[in-house]
Amino acid sequence: MKGRGVLRGSPAARVVLGSALVVALGPGAIPAAAQEGPGIRLFGELNLNFRDSRFVEHRLNVPFPPEFWEAGDDAVYLRTVDAGSHYELSDVEVGLDADFSERWAARVLVHVEDLYNRNPTSIDDRVFVREYWLRYGRVDRRHRPLEPWAGYLQLGKAPRFAKQTVRQLESYGLWGTAVNRFEIVQAQLGLNLGGSLYMRAQAGIGAPLFMRDPNALAGDNGTFDRVPGFVNPIYKSGFPILYDARPKNFSTDGETELGLGLGWRGAAEDGKRSLDAMLWYFERTLEDAPDIEGTFYQGDLDLLRGAGLPLPFSGDRKWEAGLNLDWRLGQWLGFAQLVQQDIADLERRGFELETAFNIPVPPLFAAWDAPVLNWIRPALRYSVIDNEFAVAGPFITPSMFWDWRKLDLGLRIGIVASSDLTVEYAFNELELANGSTLEPNEWLVTWRVFW
């Protein structure tokens, strides 16, 4: 969920004025945009967090020599990335939307810090461009009827068309982490086939396959502070799963990924009742050993080889297919995703379900000429990853093939027009090969200010 505002004038003036108003007057100083049409819109967001991560560890059964151990250990362990309570500035983003005409539009979106999207966590880029694209045509508004036979062509770095565009919680589910999380360089085509059916197609540079913990922090793996003989990591490894990592800025390296989606939408004119269903498919060839920013490990096939202790993979084909359902029924909002994935014959499947109920709150008092406490939105998300392959011997990161269950419960509160607070708790259940479980649970509180 993003708040957007409109500021007119030169780009420099917009930056200075926007920053000054937020700092001097506080949240709610800049009203949300109410107008559409040609123009340039500057927007931004600031995220402040409290995070409390439960300490959990798992001793690996790989006989690493002592120079690979942390000080005081008797082996190599998987551990919670950063256990305990922490206050953090997780992200600052600044973007520019340009509508040149009714059909031509462009965007540039820059993230600064973005602590929860770094990979590896501690030494990845502090500033990177999440989106930059140029589009001809119109994209249909969410929860609204399709415009018959309308379409668009978009070029640049943008989300895959199968991504969940609006999350009701700040955290991610298991599949929201594993696929579609990051933007890729691509050409994307959308076409409405009448008033109810539509198709999406794209050709892009696939995101490199790597590993990260599904909780807030990705975890450090293959970083400079894990060199044998000097193992003193800033952040621990976490319990990583396989996922599509963030590509490098402005990079066109990598194998071409093709995607196709077919969907149906039915929606009321006022947007209060809608159902959108889309079947989608993506496929690419895995690279041998692509570089990953900030780590001496490499991705794709080299990651699956596991430093001489490989997963039971074969070939180099990676594909995933899924079904997305996005709906609204009055105050009820929901999103569901079913996924089947094959990574070089390593199959896994599962689903993710998120729902929320929006409760408007009558304005009781105001601050900075804006009503305080506008709405309350309880939400939950449940996600599952089941791995359909067996690993007979040891592997350096066994959490990659454990079965996962993740339940996220939270409450988002609309404080004023340009600020909200989200309180959530993640219940994780990792089923180990021996039948035991681990529960690296986590509290996350996020205060967002946007303009």
Instruction: Report the alpha-carbon distance of residue 420 to residue 422 in Å, rounded.
Output: 7
* Residue with the larger pLDDT of the pair 229 and 8: 229
Task: Using CA atoms of 256, 172, 198, 358 in order, give the dihedral in degrees to the nearest 10.
Answer: -160
Q: Which fold has domain 45-91+142-450?
A: Porin (2.40.160)
**Strand ranges inside 149-302, DSSP E:** 151-158, 184-193, 197-205, 209-212, 226-227, 230-231, 241-244, 256-267, 273-285
> Mean pLDDT across the stretch 346-372?
85
- b vs e for 270-298, b when ≥16 Cβ sit within 10 Å of the residue's Cβ? eeeebebebebebbbbbbeebbbbbbebb
Reduce the DSSP state of residue 4 to 3 states and report it: coil
Mean model confidence pLDDT for the chain? 89
Cα–Cα dist 207/341, whole Å? 15
Higher-pLDDT residue of 301 and 123 is: 301
- Cα 428 from Cα 407, distance rounded (Å): 7
- Region 153-169: mean pLDDT is 96
| pTM (predicted TM-score) | 0.89
pLDDT, one tens digit per residue, over 163-173 is 999 999 999 99
DSSP H or E segment with residue 45 = strand 39-53
**In the predicted structure, residue 12 carries a pLDDT above the cut 70:** no
pLDDT at 18 over 80: no
Q: How confident is the model at residue 36 (pLDDT cuts 50, 70, 90)?
A: low
For residue 414, which amino acid is it?
Answer: G
Q: What 3-state class would DSSP assign to 32? A: coil
Give which of 333, 295, 283 is closest to 143, Cα–Cα: 333
Structure confidence by residue, pLDDT tens digits, 379-422: 999 999 999 998 888 888 999 999 999 999 999 999 888 899 99
pLDDT for 21 equals 32
Residue percentage of the chain with pLDDT more than 70: 90
CA distance 93 to 128: 10
pLDDT of 34:
35
- Nearest Cα to 428, choosing from 180, 22, 163, 78? 78
